[in-house]
Amino acid sequence: MGRVSGAQSADPDANFGGLCFANPPYLLIPKMVPEIIRYQSPVVHMRRTALSDAELNGKRIAKDDKVAMWYISGNRDPDEIEDPDRFIIDRARPRQHLSFGFGIHRCVGNRLAEMQLTILWEEILKRFPPIEVVEKPKRAYSNLIHGITEMKVRIPA
């Protein structure tokens, strides 16, 4: 199995030195893709309306209350995910995340998104095995989507 180093901070911008893959990097892709999705948590939050009275962690939620679900909180829950603030490319259970929602509200395109990212990384790594991020990424300003609008990289010739 290959090795990789990457961001080790809860702040994804704190370490933008890139990923350094050992050979063969394609072995890491099946675990890397869901870890990227978990760590980045593309959707910030979703709001729902409580259908009935409930209690959650000692907090009362009344019927018709508006409840915000913060995906990054679920994806960084130390009771559910070991060492959740670290990007671990070969995480033991990488698909254990809430980035696509859960239950009846689970994203129907989740497998398509995973497949697209898998193919993207397979093709990138065939052509450009070493990729180095050289500047702090520029993030999209949005209260709904975590996104990167620009990320400069170096691809050695």
17-47 pLDDT, tens per residue? 445 555 566 788 999 999 999 998 889 999 9
Kindly report the CATH number assigned to the domain that includes residue 144. 1.10.630.10
Is residue 61's pLDDT more than 80? yes
The string of pLDDT tens digits covering residues 101-133 is 888 888 899 999 999 999 999 998 888 877 888
Confidence of residue 53 (pLDDT cuts 50, 70, 90): very high
3-state secondary structure the chain: CCCEECCCCCCCCCCCCCEEECCCHHHHHHHHHHHHHHHHCCECEEEEECCCCEEECCEEECCCCEEEEEHHHHHCCCCCCCCCCCCCCCCCCCCCCCCCCCHHHCCCCHHHHHHHHHHHHHHHHHHCCCEEECCCCEECCCCCECCEEECCEECCC
Domain that holds residue 135: 4-154
The string of pLDDT tens digits covering residues 132-156 is 889 999 999 998 888 899 999 998 8
Quick one: average pLDDT of 50-66?
96
pTM of structure: 0.76
Count of structural domains, the chain: 1
